[in-house]
Structure formats: C-alpha cells, structure tokens
C-alpha cells in the first residue's frame, strides 16, 4: 500500500461515526453469497483490478450508441484524495482499520490467484455476435445463450410475419418481428415439453409493414425445435435456436481493416433466401459513435461500393423493415461465392465532449458585427467570422445568423462537419438551423433565436459531427447457407 492509499484508507475510517459503527459492527458476518455492488462500484473495482493485470476493463461494442468503444486500458489507479493522517485513533477505528487491511489482503490474494493463466482463461469474457440485431454482445454484460441464426417467415394467406432476430438469455430474452396486416400484440414460444413463454410487445411501429420488439423476463427452457403462436392463435412456424458464435476478439468474427484510428470488422452471414447479409462492427475511441456508414440514400457522405470476383459492381440493399445502419445485403452468384470486395470510403462520426464547451459572443443591435473569434471544439478549430441580426417584428421571434469557418480540409484524416447548441445544459428550450456547403458538406452558418435587446449570446456544445476518411476495404468471407 502506498502513502496515498494509506491516507485514503485512514480518511475513510475516520469518516465513520463511532456510534453508528458500534451499532452494526458486532452484527457483521461474512456473506455466503456473492456481494451485490452497485454498477459504479463494480466498474471502479473492475477497472483497477484489470489495470493491475494489464487487461482491458469493458469492451462495449454495440454500434450506434455511446458505448460503442474499443476496449481501453484503464489507468493503473484512480486519483486518490489526499488527507492528513490522524495521529490518534479510537480502538473502534483501529479495529475498522484492521478489518480494512484484512480486506486489502484478501484482494491482494485474489489478484495473485487471478494472475494465474488458467484462472484468467476461465473468467475471460467472451464476445457474441447476435444476428438480426447487428450487434456484438459482451458476455460480461449479459450472456446470450441462444440466438436465431437466420430470419424465419410465417405465411397466412397474403399475410406474412417474419421473426428477424431472437436472443435467449438467462433472465431476459427478446425478439424482433415484422409483418403485414394487423400488428400482433403477444407472441408465445412453446418448447417440445409444452412449456409456454409469452413475449409482450415493447414497441410497435407501422408504416406500411409493421415492425415490433418483444421481450420476456425469466428463464426459458430451449429444446431442439420450438413453435410460435401469435396473439393466442397457433401457427405452423417452427424455429431452431442455436448457441451464438463466441470469440475472444471482434476481429475473429470476420474481415477487419483499420483506418484513421477506427477498426471495422465485416461479418458476412448467409441468409435462407440465398442472400448474404454483411454487418459492420466498429471499435471506436471513447465517447464516440458512428452516425452513418453511408448506406442510406439520404446520407451526406460517400456511399460504400461492392464489387464481384471480376471487379464488376454488385448492387446491394438494406433490410426494408429492419434497416440497421451498419448492415447491407446482396445476392452472390451461386457459382462464385468468394472474391466479393466491400469498399467503405468514409464514416460520419459523433464525438461527445467530457464537459460542455461554452461559446459566448456579442450581438449587434442591428446589421452585421465582424467578429473573427476562434474556439476549439474537441480539437477542431471553429472560427465565428461574423454575427448578423435578422429582421424582427412583433409576430415572429428575432433571430441571429452566425457565420462560421470550420477550416474544412478534404486531405485530413478527419474533418468537422457541423454541431448544434445543447439547450438542455442550462435547462432551456430552443431551436437552431444550419446551412451546409454543398461541396464540403461542412456547416457555413447557423440561425438561432434572440431577443431584440439581447446583447450577448451563449451556446453550449456537447457533441460534434465529423467525417472520418478511410477507405476501409474488405474481401468478404462468404459461404453457402
């Protein structure tokens, strides 16, 4: 134990009220069950323990979200608060200190045990690819026991219901459905023993065909073949659930390429209809997420391209009902199942600041104010060139137009595209609109509301949007279903 840790330990012991501790100290018994700690405490313990072992603490790899991050190596120890050592301590506090030291000895023993390669191999977390959802799940967070390897369709006359994804966990299970006609409200999963498990709808959306998310809480006994009913009506749909593929690294799931500090893995999965589904799984810097891979028709970044064995362009589509932003589908030639190459020219990335960046600027009472003031947004220079007060009358709120220079450079690995004020920082409401350059796609100006007598404007920025340039290139691993 170093000096700082000892000071921290003394500080914690001294902070305990003797009377309160005395009431409980005699009743303390070692727990025979696993200690239940809150998530933050577990995270701190895990980070410090893994740091001592030289392991990553928490790979969260679901794309489209804030936790889609590459495993980071945590700092060797968290910053410790300094405290003066107390010269005289009561007998109770000495006992508490002795107990704490004993606890530290237990932790040290556990660390020594965990340092064994055999033990480390047993407790190592695994990564699981979940078809239909386009995600990779860490077994440390929530282990998936069974999945649906490919979509299954139920036909009833002209009506159709597709189960696009299914995951069975030890305590929580979910399913993703789409269909025509009226949306279903409940779905039952029935095993070979006659056990029935009712899944309830958590989300239903309808725009032509409907889509829905369904969930079940509790354990499920999975048998080799299971049947499904909808809204209490039996169907002839049969499904076979299989354990998900487990790997140590995301790279083991498919073909991987690294560009501009971002790792992408292309996972190719054969579908029952003869098509191939390609899922792009990212590993990202902390506090960032991919907003777009360029697969949508409305995207403002360059679209991916797919070529066949002879270099010919291959058309691809997105799932019409479950258009995951990181997935595409194509139909390979039955006689040529290899040699398909996917080219990702660039990505749209969202970076989040640890603390809101404050931008305060004077406002003109009328006309234009030349400002030429520069800020730094997460490492990107942003210059406010001028501020213009727009026409105001008693019926339409007044507005200000702020003209920016984002110093956009197409040759850079990453360029700032745009950002918006975060009005929630100060509990406010408001709106803003922006105009983008048609060539560079970078923001040129922003229009915000302002009062007629307002002399100063302050905005807070918590997120920025950037374009990250590759290209990421993959020769897909495809196989017949």
Top CATH class, 129-239: mainly beta
In terms of pLDDT, which residue wins out, 87 or 324? 324
Contacts of 207 (CB under 8 A, 6+ apart): none
Q: What would the pLDDT profile of 294-338 be if each residue is shown by its tens digit?
A: 998 667 789 999 999 999 999 999 877 667 889 999 998 877 777
Q: What is the secondary structure of 92-136 as a DSSP string?
A: HHHHHHHHHHHHHHHHHHHHHHHTSHHHHHHH---EEEETTTTEE
- Encode pLDDT of 244-264 as tens digits: 887 888 888 889 999 999 999
52 Cβ contact partners less than 8 Å away, ≥ 6 residues apart: 76, 111
DSSP output for 208-246: SEEEEEEEEES-----SSEEEEETTEEEEEEE--BPPPE
**125 vs 132, residue with greater confidence:** 132
What is the predicted pLDDT for the residue at 101? Answer: 43
- pLDDT confidence of 23, banded at 50, 70, 90? very low
d(CA 315, CA 330): 7
Is the separation of the CB atoms in 146 and 168 below 8 Å? yes
**The pLDDT of residue 468:** 96
Q: How far is CA 119 from CA 50, 71, 198, 271, in A?
A: 14, 21, 39, 38
- pLDDT score for 221: 95
d(CA 229, CA 49) in angstroms, rounded, equals 47
pLDDT band at residue 142 using 50, 70 and 90 as cut-offs: low
Helices (H), 26-181: 39-53, 91-114, 117-123
Average pLDDT, the chain: 75
Overall average pLDDT of the 179-203 stretch: 90
Report the interhelical angle of 91-114 vs 3-14 (nearest 10°): 130
Report the C-alpha gap between 67 and 57 in whole angstroms: 13
The pLDDT assigned to 190 comes to: 95
| Integer angstrom CA distances of residue 296 from 56, 61, 147 | 34, 22, 27
Count other C-beta atoms under 10 Å from residue 398's C-beta. 17
Residue 114 has pLDDT above 90, yes or no: no
* Separation CA 192–CA 221 (nearest Å): 9
Distances (CA, A) of 158 to 154, 179, 233, 463: 10, 11, 17, 46
Contact status, residue 367 vs residue 392, Cβ threshold 8 Å: no
pLDDT in tens, 358-381: 999 999 988 999 999 999 999 999
pLDDT tens sequence across 425-473:
988 778 889 999 999 999 999 999 888 888 999 999 999 999 999 999 9
The pLDDT of residue 182:
83
Give the start-to-end residue ranges of the domains of the chain.
Answer: 3-123, 129-239, 249-481
The whole-number pLDDT of residue 5 equals: 43
Tell me how far apart the 2 most distant CA atoms of the chain are, in Å: 84
Helix (H, G, I), strand (E, B) or coil at 39: helix
Weakest mean pLDDT among 199-208, 235-244, 398-407, 444-453: 199-208
Using the predicted structure, report yes or no on whether residue 229 has a pLDDT greater than 90: yes
Question: Measured between alpha carbons, how far is 422 from 419 in angstroms, rounded to an integer?
Answer: 9
Q: For the chain, what is the radius of gyration of the CA atoms?
A: 28
Neighbours of 185 (CB within 10 A): 13
**In angstroms, rounded to a whole number, what is the distance separating the alpha carbons of residues 69 and 58?**
9
Residue 353 has pLDDT above 90, yes or no: yes
First-to-final CA distance of the chain: 57
Distances 152 to 163, 241, 284, 326, 411 between C-alpha atoms, Å: 5, 11, 32, 21, 46
- Token pair recorded at residue 231: 């809204």
pLDDT at 214: 93
């Amino acid at each position: 134990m170093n000096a700082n840790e000892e000071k921290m330990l003394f500080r914690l012991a001294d902070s305990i009220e003797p009377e309160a501790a005395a009431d409980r100290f005699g009743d303390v018994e070692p727990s025979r069950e696993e200690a239940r700690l809150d998530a933050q405490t577990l995270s701190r313990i895990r980070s410090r323990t893994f740091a001592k072992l030289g392991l990553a603490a928490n790979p969260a790899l679901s794309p489209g979200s804030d936790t889609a991050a590459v495993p980071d190596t945590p700092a060797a120890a968290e910053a410790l608060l300094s405290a003066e050592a107390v010269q005289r301590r009561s007998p109770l506090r000495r006992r508490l200190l002795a107990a704490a030291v004993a606890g530290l000895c237990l932790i040290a023993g556990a660390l020594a045990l965990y340092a064994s390669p055999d033990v480390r191999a047993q407790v190592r977390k695994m990564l699981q690819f979940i078809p239909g959802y386009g995600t990779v799940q860490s077994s440390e967070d929530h282990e998936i026991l069974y999945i649906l390897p490919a979509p299954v369709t139920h036909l009833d006359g002209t009506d159709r219901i597709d189960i696009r994804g299914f995951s069975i966990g030890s305590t929580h299970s979910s399913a993703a459905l789409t269909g025509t006609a009226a949306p279903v409200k409940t779905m039952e999963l029935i095993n070979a023993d006659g056990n029935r498990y009712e899944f309830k709808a958590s989300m239903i959306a309808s725009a032509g065909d409907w889509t829905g998310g369904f969930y079940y809480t509790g354990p499920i006994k999975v048998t080799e073949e299971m049947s499904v009913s909808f809204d209490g009506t039996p169907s002839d749909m049969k499904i076979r659930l299989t354990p998900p593929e487990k790997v140590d690294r995301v790279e083991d799931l498919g073909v991987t390429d690294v560009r501009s500090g971002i790792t992408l893995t292309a996972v190719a999965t054969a579908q029952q209809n003869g098509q191939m589904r390609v899922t792009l799984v990212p590993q990202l810097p902390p506090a960032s997420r991919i907003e777009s891979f360029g697969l949508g028709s409305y995207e403002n970044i360059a679209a991916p391209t797919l070529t066949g064995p002879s270099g010919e362009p291959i058309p691809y589509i997105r799932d019409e009902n479950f258009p995951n932003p990181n997935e595409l589908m194509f139909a390979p030639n039955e006689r040529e199942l290899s040699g398909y190459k996917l080219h990702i020219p660039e990505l749209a990335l969202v970076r989040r600041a640890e603390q809101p960046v404050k931008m305060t600027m004077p406002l003109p009472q009328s006309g234009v104010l030349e400002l030429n003031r520069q800020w730094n947004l997460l490492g990107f220079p942003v210059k406010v060139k001028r501020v213009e007060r727009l026409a105001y009358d008693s019926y339409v709120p007044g507005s200000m137009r702020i003209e920016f220079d984002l110093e956009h450079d197409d040759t850079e690995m990453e360029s700032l595209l745009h950002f918006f004020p975060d009005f929630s920082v100060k509990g406010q409401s408001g709106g803003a609109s922006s105009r983008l350059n048609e060539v560079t796609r970078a923001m040129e100006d922003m229009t915000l509301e302002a009062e007629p007598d307002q002399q100063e404007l302050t905005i807070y920025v918590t997120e920025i949007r950037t374009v990250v340039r590759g290209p990421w290139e993959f020769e897909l691993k495809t196989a017949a279903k």
